[in-house]
Amino acid sequence: MAFLSSRSRRPGVSRSATSSRGTRSSTLSPIRVVLLIVVASCLFFYFAAAVIISRKASASVDVIGTTGGATAAVVEQHNTGSHEQKIKNEFIRGSQKEEKEEEVDIPVIQSPKVESGSDTTTTMTKEQSRHEHSSVGKTEARIASPTEYKLSAFIEPINQEHWKVKPLPARMTTSVDLKKMDFENVNSCSRLPEQWPTSEEDSPTNKDPFLPWIHDVFPSADGKYIQFIAQNKRRCQTGKLMGEVKKFMQPNVALFQHVPVKRIKADNDGDNNDGDDESSSTQYRLASHEEADSDGVETRFICRFKPSMKETLSVHNLNYDYHTMRKQYRATFTEEGFDNHMIWSSQLIFKCPVPESLQESIRLGKTVVNDYATQFVDLIPIRTPPRYGKPTEYLPPRLFKDDNTWKPDEEWGKSHILPSIENSGRWENIPICKPSLMQYPDEAVIEDLVKHDAEMAELAQKNEKKNKLIACTWTSSSFKTRGGRTEVSDGDTRLLQWLEFNKMVGVDHVYIYDNSGAFSDTASLKPITDRFPDFVTRINWPAKVCNNNKGNGDNKGERSSQYAATMDCHLRFGAHSDWLASYGDYHFTCFIIFPF
């Protein structure tokens, strides 16, 4: 009785008073116990649910940067107007705090404006442009919202008959002559390689071969360059009926050859040789090596960064003609297109120098918010005919001291001015994502360091040689070999054995370029790679069409974009390892690495 009465009494009531109720009190005590248990359970689940909801809400907030104690936060974007207003208010409060700081002004991310049915690309007004240039030195960079820019291609008509005229006539195209292709689905940094329009159906290169056939884009680890991985699409044309297509695709091989340019003014507003300020008034003239600007001696593309609108000139990773000379071949390309045996001309690799004011934020991955890029680059090809002579006929001065036999003044003239960017065919709004080790971290801890601690992120980036030996491979759950001789259908089994072997022999990390999606919407090697979370990084690589068929047979096979995947892996991850092995998952190799 003592146990029952003590459990059933209410607060403030003595034991004697409770026990004086006798039998009635004892009868009701079990019921009260049950009621108390029910009430306690309800309260427990209520508070547990509140905690879970609170955690989910806090998880949707991503802190993107801190400077001088001020923090800018971005909440997950929704299309509802009320939610956009909340986001806008957060940024306003962040900017108000920043006004009090004397040293640095943090750029404010604008809330995206979603217009139903809108199919136009937002452009910068003159007033916005003036604001950008007036704020140089106060901010690191203006950051665009994820929906402000979308990937587009502007198709420019090509008249190859003009190539026969000496000097080369200046192009008179205007924006009215250009046809625009939009790619709204290219909007995720983590899925960028698989979203690029590389297929026959949607590739703008098929309509304008001066537009490079891009497969991947990423910044260098130091944030100083934007690296492009493209392919020579002219090599993909095979079989007996390739003649006319090869002729039409000639501009694609011209992109492998450098051209010198010099900046000029389109008006009399003043000198602007550096191209940093009022870049919209800067145009370019084809020039000789001696006349060209220092950064324009060996280039092929104009790179325009957004939203800053600053311009730089591209740089090839290697000189293809010089490589041909070292190989002792007669020419890098032939007019007929019979040059597939020169494998070094299969991949077009080049990079855009990043303006100094953007390098640090790109290096630390601060320009990517919730997997969306907030910085972009336009790529404007400099359109000149390909050179089919000896590889030594027009090498740059750093590689060839003798007089060149190819004379730019005779071929182009001394006053060949390129059309303005807005009147030129181009790639526009290419996303600038995170450096490779941030985009594809092989250890979860690195991603956390980069996300939450800028100082530790910097240390992680300085430690470039993360591994002793890494391996790169292109593979697929199924594919056909060149000419359709054989078909592989057990790619998952092969890969599992290959990964277990490489882990056993001491490879530190493996990068898998999974091409399964090129043949099926459901096939994937992810179930295999997921078994090795700390050992394997999988990049979805569904690019199809080109296998660089050396024999020019009618059947191209389905070894899709294997060379591009290999080059991508080398340039993305090679700098972070002492050694890199590249081979197929049907090769089993043992490594002996001697210390230096």
Residue spans per domain, the chain:
62-99, 181-432, 464-582
pLDDT value for 86: 41
Question: Looking at residue 144, what is its pLDDT?
Answer: 59
CA 95 – CA 90 distance, rounded (Å): 9
**CB neighbours of residue 16 within 10 Å:** 8
Q: What is the pLDDT of residue 133?
A: 38
Structure tokens at 508: 């530190």
Low pLDDT (below 50) residues in the chain: 1-27, 46, 49-140, 268-280, 443-447, 449, 452, 456, 459, 548, 557-558, 596
Q: What is the pLDDT of residue 199?
A: 83
Q: What pLDDT score was predicted for residue 91? A: 37
The beta strand positions in 203-345, using DSSP E, are 213-219, 225-231, 261-265, 282-286, 301-306, 311-313, 315-316
| Phi, psi angles (nearest 5°) of residue 569 | -65, -40
Sequence-ordered alpha helix ranges (H) in 288-407:
320-327, 356-363
What integer pLDDT is reported at residue 583 of this predicted model?
A: 80
Rounded distance, CA 497 to CA 503, Å? Answer: 10
- Beta strand spans in 32-92 (E): 61-67, 70-75
pLDDT attached to residue 267: 56
* Vertex 564: Cα angle to 336 and 396 (nearest 5): 60
How much is the pLDDT for 341? 78
| Distance from C-alpha of 460 to C-alpha of 437, rounded to nearest angstrom | 9
Of the candidates 176, 171, 229, 252, which has an alpha carbon nearest to the alpha carbon of residue 562? 229
pLDDT given at position 266: 65
Q: What was the pLDDT predicted at 546?
A: 64
User: Residue 236 has what pLDDT?
Assistant: 78
Q: Phi and psi (nearest 5°) for 320?
A: -70, -35
pLDDT value at residue 462: 56
Of the candidates 424, 520, 432, 471, the one whose C-alpha atom is nearest the C-alpha of residue 216 is: 432
- Predicted local distance difference test score (pLDDT) of residue 402: 67
Report the DSSP pairing between strands 536-540 and 509-514.
Answer: parallel
- Residues 303, 430 contacting (CB under 8 angstroms): no
Phi, psi of 306 (to 5 degrees): -125, 145
